[in-house]
Chain A
Amino acid sequence: AQALEGMFKERTVDDVLKALGDKPTPSDQIVLTTPDIAENGSVVPITVKSSLPSTTDIYLIIEKNPNPFAAAFAIPDQTDAMISARVKVAQTSNVIAVVKADGKLFSATRETKVTLGGCGG
């Protein structure tokens, strides 16, 4: 847990990925579910499901947030590699799920549009 503390201070996705280690490989074994349009950026539901064998960690990164690194989840053997949570998305942004499986990093990316004022535009 301590090792991750500094990650929350990083200001760009590149710096976050550098701190995580390798550049992740895009993978269709990760299903990232986010709303296409979020009328309320302060509560955006995200679900990440990894079918990669030996998934041990799931990281949530919001590209355009002031600090992109949002959350890290460690998945023990007994637990399915699937997590749902709600995060803040400051503005229209790519949401990146990074999965560590068998010691290697993989990713899935989806854009969520944030509409301000809640007028649904």
Chain B
Amino acid sequence: MGSPMKIRAAIKDGRTEVKVLIAHPMETGFRKDPEGKTIPGHYINEVVAKHNDKVVLSAVWGPAVSQNPFIQFQFVGGTPGDSVSVTWKDNQGDSRTDQVALS
């Protein structure tokens, strides 16, 4: 399930600014361990952010996204009490969803 994401969503001038910090190793599959064995790739390949039930960002990633990925974006609208949720899925079948309420 991974560790909880840190999601910050703030209303500013009619827009909602969202910052997301995800805890994930984002292992490329290119690195080798000290014995010379290739470390298997382990990375998030899909991210979807929603404002209430509406998708406001969807992303498809490869292993070149940094460890513990950070993304920032903004969308039009958002009122206090609305939900902003983020879901990720990784290449090993793990996934996680976290949500915050706009304040």
Complex contacts, B67 vs chain A, CB 8 Å: 42-43
The one of B15, B28, B69 that contacts A85, using a Cβ cutoff of 8 Å:
B69
Complex contacts, A43 vs chain B, CB 8 Å: 66-67
The one of A62, A74, A82 that contacts B64, using a Cβ cutoff of 8 Å:
A62
Interchain CB contact under 8 A, B70 and A85: yes
Interchain CB contact under 8 A, B55 and A80: no
Give, as a whole number of angstroms, the nearest-CB distance from B16 to chain A.
Answer: 10
Binding stretch for chain B, among A20-28, A63-71, A98-106, A112-120:
A63-71
The one of B62, B70, B71 that contacts A69, using a Cβ cutoff of 8 Å:
B62
What class of interface size applies to chain A in its complex with B? 20 to 34
Complex contacts, A73 vs chain B, CB 8 Å: 57-59, 73
Alpha-carbon separation in the docked complex, A72 to B59 (Å)? 5
The one of B63, B66, B72 that contacts A83, using a Cβ cutoff of 8 Å:
B72
Count the B residues whose beta carbon is within 8 Å of the partner chain — how many? 29
Alpha-carbon separation in the docked complex, A78 to B57 (Å)? 9
Whether B65 sits at the interface, judged by CB under 8 Å, is yes
Task: Tell me whether A74 and B69 are in contact in the complex, defined as CB-CB below 8 angstroms, given that A1-B46, A88-B28, A88-B64 are known contacts.
Answer: no
Name the residue on A nearest B54 (C-beta): A78
The one of B51, B60, B65, B74 that contacts A87, using a Cβ cutoff of 8 Å:
B65
Given A74-B57, A80-B74, A88-B65, 10 further pairs, Cβ under 8 A: A8-B63, A44-B66, A62-B64, A67-B62, A74-B59, A76-B56, A78-B51, A78-B56, A87-B65, A88-B66
26 A-B pairs whose Cβ atoms sit less than 8 Å apart in the complex: A1-B60, A5-B45, A7-B62, A62-B64, A69-B62, A71-B62, A73-B57, A73-B58, A74-B58, A76-B56, A78-B51, A78-B56, A78-B75, A79-B56, A79-B57, A80-B73, A83-B71, A83-B72, A83-B73, A84-B70, A84-B72, A86-B70, A87-B64, A87-B66, A88-B63, A88-B64
6 nearest A-B residue pairs (beta carbon): A8-B62, A70-B64, A84-B72, A86-B66, A79-B75, A72-B60
B interface residues, Cβ below 8 angstroms from A: 15, 28, 30, 45-46, 51, 54-67, 69-77
